[in-house]
């Protein structure tokens, strides 16, 4: 093969896509380590092409500083399996919070982050965010109120539960 | 009027988001109360994230990298609208600028989301998902200030001052839609005004870039951190 090809030695055994998905399932979200990047739904595709492991990666919130780290962790995981990574960042509109898996949503809730509500055809309104049924991850009450549309990271809002009197972080729906 | 090139269009958007992101971040630590400190910091982070993605697309066409496009151009080559360049650390003006910009940006994104350029349509649709929250925040504040005896005149004065700048965010053909939306919210006609156009930079831009790029310029070429 030509020396300037970024991919590895074609005579070496390549990892399987299943092995790559399995390794990605062990990579925690750098900011919310209770869920993996697979739970988060940011890996759109894994293909073995020639001698490269090609990954399509769709960022979550565009200003999220964890994105670079996720990318380098995926590359390290592929190298750890003996593959040569080629991570393509797909900046299209295919990621939404609906891509977080059911398992991922439960892990978020168990860790005290209220998972995102399902995406509706129309974008959310202030009325919905103030009056809608957002469930407290600690006590399950829906007697919660919006404290701030924005929170400690781009993906979260702040709410307060009037029943158990605890603040909590609500994943924004996008 | 000829339409701008694809790179110019990307830079219109990216420069607006980068410069406004910087201005929003100036409230970090000193906003009137903690919730707004968090909100403006988070909005700034989003806007700069949008700028970064747009600069990456532009950089690919220009054969360079996103940081070079974002930070290494001379002031005159920035394509930002003067609205985002103004330094206005005063709450009524901050809210006026925030709401005018988000309203104009929503109109611009609506048209770009239906572009036949699939990449541009995709990235602007993705950006718009996050901008929804900026618009809710801006409208919440406009309602809050319009509903108060002290807030209303201060906001109205700020809106009149910034209105010519707001028009400059959009191309000629989109401006009537901005007039319609802003007048509908305010319930009054806006002053006749000539738009302060894109590329006619405020002196504050040079000061902003001087500060924003100071670390980059002080580091030896190729430094990594």
Residue span of the structural domain in which A140 resides: 112-171
B54-106 pLDDT per residue, tens: 999 999 999 999 999 999 999 999 999 999 999 988 999 999 999 999 999 99
Q: Look-up: residue for tokens 């103004």?
A: B86
- B1 confidence band (pLDDT: 50, 70, 90): very low
A22 with A76, same domain: the answer is yes
pLDDT digits (tens, 9 = 90+) for B22-33: 999 999 999 999
Q: What does chain B come to in residues?
A: 225
In a domain, A105, yes or no: no
Q: Are residues A160 and A116 in the same domain?
A: yes
Res. A10: pLDDT tops 80: no
Distance (Å, whole) CA A20 – CA A83: 9
Can you read off the two tokens belonging to residue B159?
């809106």
Can you give the CATH number for the domain in which A74 is found?
3.30.300.130
Examine the pLDDT at A5 and tell me if it is beyond 60.
no
The pLDDT-based confidence of A4 (bands split at 50, 70, 90) is: very low
Per-residue 3-state assignment (H helix, E strand, C coil) for B136-160: HHHHHHHHHHHCCCCHHHHHHHHHH
Q: Summarize pLDDT for A91-101 with one digit per residue, the tens.
A: 899 999 999 99
Q: Does the residue A106 lie in any domain?
A: no
For residues A29 and A80, state if they share a domain. Answer: yes
Mutate to test the interface with A, among B49, B66, B137 (most CBs of A within 10 A): B49
Q: What is the 3-state secondary structure (H, E, C) of B122-137?
A: HHHHHHHHHHHHHHHH
Residue A166 lies in a domain: yes
Q: What angle do CA B142, B147, B151 make, to 5 degrees?
A: 70
For tokens 């971040």, name the residue.
B25
Do A60 and A42 form a contact (C-beta atoms < 8 A)?
Answer: yes
- The pLDDT, as a whole number, for residue B177 is 98
Would you call B213 exposed, middle or buried from its count of C-beta atoms within 10 A (0-12, 13-18, 19+)? Answer: middle
pLDDT at residue A65 in the model = 85
- Percentage of chain A exceeding pLDDT 90: 82
Q: What integer is the mean pLDDT of B194-222?
A: 91
Distance CA A47, CA A169 (A): 36
- Number of inter-chain CB pairs under 8 A, A vs B: 83
Least confident of A36-40, A46-50, B168-172: A46-50
Percentage of residues in chain B with pLDDT exceeding 90? 92
pLDDT tens per residue across span B33-56: 999 999 999 999 999 999 999 999
Report the residue from A61, A151, A158 with minimal CB separation from B130: A61
Give the number of domains in chain A: 2
Looking at the predicted structure, is the pLDDT value of residue A57 above 90? Answer: yes
Residue A101 lies in a domain: no
Do residue A84 and residue A21 come from a single domain? yes
- What's the confidence (pLDDT) of residue B175? 97
pLDDT at B188 over 60: yes
| DSSP code for A101 | -
Mean per-residue pLDDT for A17-43?
95
> Residues A126, A102, B53, B21: is their CA dihedral positive or negative?
positive
Does A167 share its domain with A133? yes
Task: Give the gap in angstroms from C-alpha A125 to the nearest C-alpha of chain B.
Answer: 7
Per-residue model confidence (pLDDT) at position B76:
96
pLDDT at B224 over 80: no
**Per-residue model confidence (pLDDT) at position A6:** 59
**What is the spatial distance between Cα B165 and Cα A41, in angstroms, rounded to a whole number?**
40
Chain B positions contacting chain A at CB under 8 Å are: 35, 38-39, 41-43, 45-50, 52-53, 56-57, 118-119, 121-123, 125-127, 129-130, 132-133, 136-137, 139-140
Nearest CB partner across the interface for A124, out of B45, B123, B132: B132
- ipTM field: 0.90
Q: Is residue A12 part of a domain?
A: no
In a shared domain, residues A74 and A129: no
- Residue B225 CA from chain centroid, whole number: 28
pLDDT category of residue B3 using cuts at 50, 70 and 90:
low
Residue B220: what pLDDT?
75
Q: Does A4 reside within a domain?
A: no
Angle of CA points B218, B221, B225, to nearest 5°: 75
Output DSSP code: residue A156: E
Residue A61 φ/ψ region, left for φ over 0, alpha for ψ in the -120 to 50 degree band, beta for the rest: beta
pLDDT of residue A11: 64
Taking contacts as CB-CB distances below 8 angstroms, the residues of chain B near A94 are 122
Q: Name the domain boundary from A56, A89, A122.
A: A89
What architecture is the B6-188+196-218 domain classified under in CATH? Up-down Bundle (1.20)
Helix or strand holding residue A74 (H, E): helix A66-80
Residues A23 and A81 reside in one and the same domain: yes
* Cross-chain residue pair B119–A92, CB shorter than 8 Å: yes
Contact B132 A123 (CB under 8 A): yes
From B41, B126, B136, residue closest to A125, measured CB to CB: B136
Instruction: Confirm whether A135 is domain-assigned.
Output: yes
- Is residue A17 a contact partner of residue A63, using CB atoms and an 8 Å limit? no
B136 vs A129: CA distance, rounded Å = 10
- Alpha carbons within 13 angstroms on the beta-carbon side of residue A95 total 26
Q: What is the pTM of this model?
A: 0.93
Question: Do A116 and A75 reside in the same domain of the chain?
Answer: no
Q: Judge whether A99 lies within some domain.
A: no
Contact B136 A129 (CB under 8 A): yes
Taking only the tens place, the pLDDT of each residue in B129-184 is 999 999 999 999 999 999 999 999 999 999 999 999 999 999 999 999 999 999 99
**Is B13 or B218 the better-scoring residue by pLDDT?**
B13
Same domain as A22, residue A85: yes
Each residue of A109-138: pLDDT tens digit?
Answer: 999 999 999 999 999 999 999 988 899 999
Cα A89 from Cα B4, distance rounded (Å) = 26
Contact predicate A44/A90, CB 8 Å:
yes
Instruction: Give the pLDDT confidence score for residue A8 in this predicted structure.
Output: 59
């Amino acid at each position: 093969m030509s020396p300037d090809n970024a991919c590895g030695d074609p005579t070496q055994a390549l990892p399987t896509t299943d092995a790559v998905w399995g390794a990605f399932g062990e990579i925690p979200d750098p900011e919310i380590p209770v869920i993996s990047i697979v739970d988060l739904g940011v890996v759109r595709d894994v293909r073995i092409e020639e001698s490269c492991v090609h990954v399509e990666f769709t960022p979550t919130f565009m200003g999220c500083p964890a994105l670079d780290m996720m990318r380098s962790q995926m590359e390290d995981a592929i190298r750890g399996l003996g593959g040569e990574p080629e991570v393509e960042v797909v900046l299209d509109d295919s990621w939404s919070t609906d891509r977080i898996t059911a398992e991922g949503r439960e892990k978020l809730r168990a860790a005290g982050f209220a998972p995102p509500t399902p995406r509706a055809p129309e974008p959310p309104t202030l009325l919905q965010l103030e009056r809608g049924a957002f469930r407290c991850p600690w006590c399950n009450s829906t007697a919660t109120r919006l404290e701030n549309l924005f929170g400690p990271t781009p993906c979260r809002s702040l709410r307060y539960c009037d029943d158990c009197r605890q603040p909590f972080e609500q994943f924004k729906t996008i | 009027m000829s339409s701008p090139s694809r790179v110019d269009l990307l830079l219109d958007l990216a420069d607006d988001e980068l410069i406004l992101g910087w201005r929003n971040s100036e409230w970090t630590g000193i906003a009137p109360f903690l919730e707004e400190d968090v909100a403006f910091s988070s909005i700034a982070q989003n806007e700069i994230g949008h700028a970064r993605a747009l600069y990456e697309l532009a950089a690919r066409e220009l054969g360079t990298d996103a940081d070079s496009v974002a930070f290494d151009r001379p002031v005159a080559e920035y394509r930002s609208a003067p609205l985002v360049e103004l330094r206005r650390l005063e709450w009524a003006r901050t809210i006026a600028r925030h709401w005018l910009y988000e309203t104009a940006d929503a109109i611009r994104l609506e048209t770009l989301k239906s572009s036949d350029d699939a990449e541009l349509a995709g990235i602007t649709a993705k950006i718009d998902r996050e901008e929804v929250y900026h618009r809710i925040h801006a409208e919440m504040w406009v309602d809050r200030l319009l509903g108060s005896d002290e807030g209303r005149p201060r906001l109205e004065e700020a809106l009149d001052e910034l209105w010519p700048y707001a028009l400059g965010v959009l191309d000629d053909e989109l401006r009537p839609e901005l007039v319609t939306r802003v007048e509908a919210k305010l319930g009054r006609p806006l002053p006749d005004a000539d738009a302060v156009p894109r590329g006619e930079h405020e002196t504050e831009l040079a000061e902003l870039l001087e500060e924003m790029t100071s670390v980059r310029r002080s580091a030896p070429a190729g430094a990594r951190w």
